[in-house]
Amino acid sequence: MNIAAEGAYGGTLAFAPYLGLPDASAATTTTQADVFARRERQSTAFYQQPKTKTVYVEYQNHSSVVTYPDSSAEPPWLVPVLRSLLERRGVSVGWDSYDAKPTEAWQAARLLTYLFKLMRDNSKPPIITPLWDGGVQATWHRNGRDLEIVVSADEPPTYYFRDEAADEEEEEPLEPSRSRVQALIQQF
Amino acid sequence: MPSETEEDDLSIPDTDRRFRRVPPNQLEPLEDGSFRPTSAVFKHTQLSVNIECLMVDQGRPPEDTLTGYPGHYLTSIIAGHVRAKGHPIVKATEPPNDPAHGLVLGKKKGSFANAMLTSHQWIVPPPKQ
């Protein structure tokens, strides 16, 4: 899935996996919650167009959209990840009792889009944690091993992995290391 | 506000503890039902802490750091561990800061945050699940 900022309009950032295709979709079903709404979209054009699903991440008058190919059923990790994000996001300035910024919807959308690229259906859902600068990180922890995917506000995404027993540690930019991170996720 | 290049305050002993509040949304469950802070707790470029030696001078227990913050927990990291990773510690006590307030300066990598995670000690831990 390629990721690109399709455009910014009305305060919404849209991330689209299929750039270049006209948006000829129509909503078929809609469910809404306080913060998240999910909409299945089915092509109504006459030519072959991939069916996609869209996750809206909305809070504090900001919303971001994560769109991903609907190749099969919804991945089992998606709802736990969205729930973790919803429950743990930084709501207001100083949510950490110091000076943390509220979690930015578009940073959450960036992280979710990376997770769609990196996780498999059988991947263990990570815990989502807000960062002080409005970014977010996904964390896996098991038996002395830690993996983090960090989407912070002021630098390109990174990953961090540590295996305490093996005394191994690595920390690199995420983009050039996708296959490595995919393999690491499957260790949890 | 201290600058990123401000020098380490060597009047703070290496054995001194830094106290940091941890909100519920920065906890991670462990296999045994206990919790640890997430590494995100230690990633602020100007990481606010309370300095143990100042609190002692002021006759305040560490738990006083939580006054006014119900629902938060309190952890501690050692000044020597922070310095070993190359991060200076400075006092920043001017009002409206806490009179025992200090900062751990510098951009924090994951290796620093996870090293603090390894060595941190709860002062007021969250209850086990």
Binned at pLDDT 50, 70 and 90, residue A6 comes out as very low
- Give Cα A149 distance to the centre of its chain: 10
For residue B129, the model assigns a pLDDT of 82
Q: Which residues contact A89 (CB under 8 A, 6 or more apart)?
A: A59, A102, A103, A108, A128, A130, A136, B25
pLDDT, mean over chain B? 93
- Mean pLDDT to the nearest integer, A62-66: 66
Across the interface, whether the CB atoms of A150 and B110 are under 8 A apart is answered yes
Neighbours of A69 (CB within 10 A): 13
Map out the domains of chain B as residue ranges. Answer: 17-124
> Does B26 sit within 8 Å of A129, measured CB to CB?
yes
Tell me what pLDDT residue B107 has: 93
Please name which of A76, A132, A81 lies closest in space to residue A104, comparing C-alpha atoms.
A132
CA dist A43 and A2 (Å) reads 19
What are the two backbone dihedrals, phi and then psi, of residue B75, each rounded to the nearest 5 degrees? -120, 170
Q: Between A32 and A121, whose confidence is greater?
A: A121
How many CB atoms within 10 Å of residue B55? 21
**B28/A97 CB distance under 8 A:** no
C-beta atoms of B30 and A160 within 8 A? no
Helix and strand numbers, DSSP H then E, in chain A: 3, 11
Domain boundaries, chain A: 5-185
Question: Does position A177 have pLDDT exceeding 70, yes or no?
Answer: yes
Q: Which residue of B has its CA nearest to A142?
A: B31
pLDDT tens across A69-89, in order?
A: 666 677 899 889 988 998 999
The ipTM assigned to this model is 0.91
Identify the three-state secondary structure at position A92: coil
- HEC string of A103-145? CCHHHHHHHHHHHHHHCCCCCCCCEEEECCCCCEEEEEEECCE
pLDDT higher at B88 or A53: B88
Asked if B38 reaches chain A (Cβ–Cβ under 8 Å), the answer is yes
The enclosing H or E element of A171 equals strand A168-173
- The minimal CB distance from B72 to the residues A97, A129, A137 is found for A97
- CB spacing of B25 vs A141 below 8 angstroms: no
Task: Collect all residues of chain A within an 8 Å Cβ-Cβ radius of residue B21.
Answer: 96-98
User: Tens of pLDDT along A127-168?
Assistant: 999 999 999 999 999 988 999 999 999 899 999 999 999 999
pLDDT at residue number A180: 96
pLDDT digits (tens, 9 = 90+) for B10-29: 999 999 999 999 999 999 99
